[in-house]
Structure 1
Amino acid sequence: MLDALTVAPLMRFVADIYPVILQSDLYRYLIGAGGTFLLINVLLSARLASRKIRQETPQARQIIREILTSLRTVVIFSLVGLTIAILANLGWLPVYEDPGQYGWAYFAINVVALIVAHDAWFYWTHWFMHRPKLFRWFHRLHHRSYNPTPWTAYAFDASEAFVNAVFLLLFMAIMPTSVLAAFIFTAHMMLRNAIGHSGYEIFPANREGRPLFDWMATVTHHDLPHARPRANFGLYFTWWDKLMGTEDPTYYDEFQRAVTRCALRTRRPAN
């Protein structure tokens, strides 16, 4: 229980820290999604034209809708972030400042554990959100972006945004986590999410036209559910989809089609 002597400093702490958290979440979205859009969809679009997964270009009104709904997601993420900060301030959550407090080996394990655990969380919550009775309440808004852009990364219903945001709070309650590890995790999450919605297959292929790193979810892997929302529920890795048999059977063909267009375009005739 909190007494009057605790509440007043806590309220001052909230007033000081929340603008910082909100600003951080907003900048992460604008820099992550906006930077990816600027680099891949604008500056490199001509060079990557042969790797464009779908030929049509999303309309401006779709992008505006995605940005506006993503701002709500930013607020929800920031409120969960504020909850983490309050619990840590009260000593109820094992969050620490010095990244080397438990040694750098622990720090590295902490970051990897965050990413791997989040992929599992994302897979199973994503799978449940695709159940017919839950889809309209959690995931329908995200799939309005049939042809996604990096701005789609945060275009969630409020319910889905909360489910995605609460992962970090739950993880931190289980494993002591440094502020830097959480920052690296959220930056990686934002970047992979934005790239996965970019619409250009930038992941490398082997000589057979299959993904060079088959354990990683390529752009095609994440783009397919927006065209056919029935499979490919992982975010960073393909492990769960392969294990549970939920990988789209056309995935390798679609990936090969994107990289083959690139190979045909860049191949020079023999002298």
Structure 2
Amino acid sequence: MDDLLGWAGRLGAGEVVGGALLFNVGLLVTTVLGGGLLVRRFGDRRVAPPPGPVTVGEAVLVAVAVLLNSGVGVAGWALWKAGWIRLSGALGLRAVLDLLLLTLVMDALMYSGHRVAHRRRLYRLAHATHHRQVEPRPATLFVLHPLEVLGFGGAWLAVLLVREVSAAALGGYVLVNLVFGLLGHLGVEPLPARARRLGVFRWVALPMFHVGHHLDPSVNLGFYTTVWDRLFGTVDPAYDRMRHADHPAAAGVPDALQSAG
């Protein structure tokens, strides 16, 4: 890992910009192709209405999000080069603990920011853009107002400025964010009932958790966990019943589907 950090430190600005663009395009392609495979594989477990055709507006927002995310990555590299962000080459338990801490801190910040974003004036300004996608598809992860893209990126960089983090944990968090974002916008529930009933998924958000937020924006404001929704009373009252059901859509989703239509 130290060798990788040394290599990154020797890159020129042009190489970093090009690499950031290539990396973020790769994340988009992975989301669309991987998500498409999951939707086809688990199409019989749909928990949201099938989405319509992709619009020009959606495609433009996705492209802008990729560009802005690339810019955030370049800004992070510049802050690291300047010594403001500190990364270590630590692996093993230290990297695991750093990943856990980074994920939980970001989960709290994202819940707080998400709740604020649903205040009426702010909602109309930015977050309403994402909620036009009542029927999510994998690429909906990137259908965001530019202010929200920059807000998430800014929060992420701010957290990294606070303390040294393992570079491996940083990479792991990017993967965690992609996986939860992708699964939360599939519109299907790929996990079988036996897995969904495990105690860990009382606290770790299932794919249907964020889908429920698209169907009813007043509930399920968290991203990676259900902790903050349970603490502040914003979890969907039907969520645990749906989580335990053999067929989630038969345990409460249809009402939401009707209201969404």
Correspondence for 2:86: 94
Query: Which of 51, 75, 78 is the matching residue for 2:45?
Result: 51
Query: Which of 173, 178, 183 is the matching residue for 1:185?
Result: 173
Amino acid of the residue matched to residue 214 of structure 2? H
Correspondence for 1:220: 208
Matched residue of 2:235: which SS?
Answer: coil
- 1:142–1:157: 8 Å Cα contact kept in structure 2? yes
Shift of 1:136: 1.2
Matched residue of 1:141: which SS?
Answer: helix
Q: Which has the larger radius of gyration?
A: 1
Distance in 1 (alpha carbons) for counterparts of 2:198 and 2:132: 28
Distance in 2 (alpha carbons) for counterparts of 1:180 and 1:240: 27
- 1:139–1:160: 8 Å Cα contact kept in structure 2? yes
Correspondence for 2:256: none
Correspondence for 1:78: 70
Distance in 1 (alpha carbons) for counterparts of 2:147 and 2:21: 19
- 1:53–1:258: 8 Å Cα contact kept in structure 2? no
Distance in 1 (alpha carbons) for counterparts of 2:60 and 2:245: 33
Matches within 5 A, 1:65-144: 65-96=57-88, 98-100=89-91, 104-144=92-132
Distance in 1 (alpha carbons) for counterparts of 2:141 and 2:135: 12
Distance in 2 (alpha carbons) for counterparts of 1:173 and 1:106: 18
Correspondence for 1:35: 33
- 2:118–2:127: 8 Å Cα contact kept in structure 1? yes
Which moved further from structure 2: 18-27 or 233-242?
Answer: 18-27
Shift of 1:57: 1.8
When residues 129 and 261 of structure 1 are mapped into structure 2, their CA distance, relative to the original with a 3 A threshold, is: closer
Distance in 2 (alpha carbons) for counterparts of 1:130 and 1:248: 16
- 1:242 aligned to 2:230? yes
When residues 189 and 233 of structure 1 are mapped into structure 2, their CA distance, relative to the original with a 3 A threshold, is: same
Distance in 1 (alpha carbons) for counterparts of 2:148 and 2:249: 36
Distance in 1 (alpha carbons) for counterparts of 2:149 and 2:234: 23
Shift of 1:161: 0.7
Amino acid of the residue matched to residue 108 of structure 2? A
Q: TM-score, normalised by structure 1?
A: 0.80
Amino acid of the residue matched to residue 34 of structure 1? V
When residues 37 and 124 of structure 1 are mapped into structure 2, their CA distance, relative to the original with a 3 A threshold, is: same
- 1:60 aligned to 2:48? no
Instruction: State the Cα deviation string for residues 234-262 of structure 1 (Å, max 9, x = none).
Output: 00110000001111223234445662679
Distance in 2 (alpha carbons) for counterparts of 1:84 and 1:59: 36
Query: Which of 191, 197, 203 is the matching residue for 1:203?
Result: 191
Correspondence for 1:23: 22
Point out where structure 2 has 5 or more consecutive residues left out of the alignment: 1-8, 251-261
Matched residue of 1:139: which SS?
Answer: helix
Amino acid of the residue matched to residue 175 of structure 1? R
When residues 250 and 16 of structure 1 are mapped into structure 2, their CA distance, relative to the original with a 3 A threshold, is: same
Correspondence for 1:160: 148
- 1:146 aligned to 2:134? yes
When residues 260 and 144 of structure 1 are mapped into structure 2, their CA distance, relative to the original with a 3 A threshold, is: closer
Q: TM-score, normalised by structure 2?
A: 0.83
Shift of 1:40: 1.1
Shift of 1:71: 1.8
Correspondence for 1:14: 13
Count of aligned pairs between the two proteins: 240
Instruction: State the Cα deviation string for residues 30-68 of structure 1 (Å, max 9, x = none).
Output: 21x1133222123x1xxx2431113x4211234x64343
